[in-house]
Amino acid sequence: MVSFSQVSAGHGGRAVLEGVSFTAPKGRMTALIGPNGCGKTTLLKTACGLIPPLKGKIAIDGRMRKDAGRKEWARLCALLPQMREAPALTVEALVSHGRYPHLSFGRDLTAADKEAVFRAMEEAGVLSLREREVPKLSGGERQRVYFAMALAQSPEVFFLDEPTTYLDIGQKYEMLELIRSLRERGKTVVMVLHDLSLAFSYSDFIAVLGQGKLLAFGKSREVFQSGVPEQAFGVRGERVLVNGREEFLFVRP
């Protein structure tokens, strides 16, 4: 689980968010939503240790970044940022980087590491691209390759910043189904999503950010029924059943 206790987060000593407290439960998907510029990505980077909190504490499965070594922390959590550079590597070489926190001093991949890389590429749907160079891939292909690298890392917690970026509508659903399958392995997911319908339809818990603070947190249906997302985004929400499955729609009022 990922626990936030009175966290203030920002850059250069300037807080974007203040007094944020909630716990993203272990083995569940929690989405961070809110208007552009409200601090979603900042909170995500702070949670994984890239940015130190200005105030408060963040713990992952009871551990804090200052109490763990670099490799230990990388085995605990992985970050998929919204935008990344495209290094001059093959897909397989890049995905193999996900295994580095697990390697010994020689940094040689064992048979088990190679198998983990193969499975990660297969799960992310990029196995057929394994020999392609990353800069020559489309944006959507790169996104899936970087997700494969996070899978290969085998962390307990996945921090995902807009994991459906560059994907078409069908690929978005495929990606979210793949992310949802992580729950079956007991993995914890904390992700930023701009698409409200996808956030509520796929996430177990929702954290609504805005006005420099946490506006609401709870189970997806409870947060939806609270009306807070409608107020934060100026939209109207509706729940519908599609093939027996509950979906959430948001439209202009």
Residue 166's Cα: distance from chain center in Å? 15
Within 27-80, strands assigned E span 29-33, 55-60, 77-80
Number of H helices, E strands in the chain: 9, 11
Say what the pLDDT of residue 91 is.
97
Residue in 23, 9, 145, 143 with CA at minimum distance from that of residue 83: 143
Phi first, then psi, for residue 126 (nearest 5°) are -120, 15
| CA pair distance 40, 162, nearest whole angstrom | 10
Angle between helices 139-153 and 111-124 (to 10 degrees): 140
Query: How, if at all, do strands 2-11 and 14-24 pair?
Result: antiparallel
* Confidence check: pLDDT of 153 > 80: yes
> Could you tell me what percent of the chain has a pLDDT over 90?
80
> Could you tell me what percent of the chain has a pLDDT over 70?
99
Burial of residue 62 (number of CB atoms within 10 Å: 0-12, 13-18, 19+):
exposed
Phi first, then psi, for residue 81 (nearest 5°) are -75, 165
Residue in 48, 157, 158, 137 with CA at minimum distance from that of residue 92: 137
Q: Which residues contact 72 (CB under 8 A, 6 or more apart)?
A: none
pLDDT tens by residue, 20-41 = 999 999 999 999 999 999 999 9
Beta-ladder partners of 206:
31, 218
pLDDT tens by residue, 51-75 = 999 999 999 999 988 888 888 899 9
pLDDT tens by residue, 75-121 = 999 999 987 788 889 999 999 999 999 987 667 899 999 999 999 99
Q: Which residues contact 231 (CB under 8 A, 6 or more apart)?
A: none
User: Does the global pTM surpass 0.85?
Assistant: yes
| CA pair distance 154, 149, nearest whole angstrom | 9
Say what the pLDDT of residue 184 is.
87
Tell me which DSSP letter residue 183 carries: G
